[in-house]
Structure 1
């Protein structure tokens, strides 16, 4: 049976938890997306952009910043 490993970055996780509900820009390996940070889990975040929810794997996030 293969063993799966998950990288959890505790500082990123706790920082993101502290800004849930705010507007952010997230740069991923596929481009950037703007929206409201709705939820944070150890392996992904949920971003609401318009009427669409995006589930973004934490491993795909390059940077995050507040959106004005």
Structure 2
């Protein structure tokens, strides 16, 4: 079985690498509904608490005391709005 890293890297017929990312549309849409609210985001590395200021298909931005944290959507385990 291929790892996520290997699954994300494909090659075109001419050998040029092509990056393919997986987007979960339900997570993306749900996160958009809690923008500008305080959230706790649990990642594989730990949790981050702050205001969800932006949601993109591949990452979110959480403002923690004026510092932006850019979190890849694929690293998110769960999100709890407060």
Give the TM-score taking structure 2 as reference length. Answer: 0.79
Give the aligned length. 67
Please report how far the alpha carbon of residue 53 of structure 1 lies from its aligned counterpart in structure 2 after TM superposition: 0.5
Q: CA RMSD in A?
A: 0.7
Runs of 4+ in 1 over 4 A off after TM superposition: none
**Which has the higher Rg, Structure 1 or Structure 2?**
2
The answer for the alignment partner of 1:29 in structure 2 is: 44
Larger relative CO (CA 8 A, sep 6+): 1 or 2? 1
Gaps of 5+ in 1: none
Gaps of 5+ in 2: 1-15
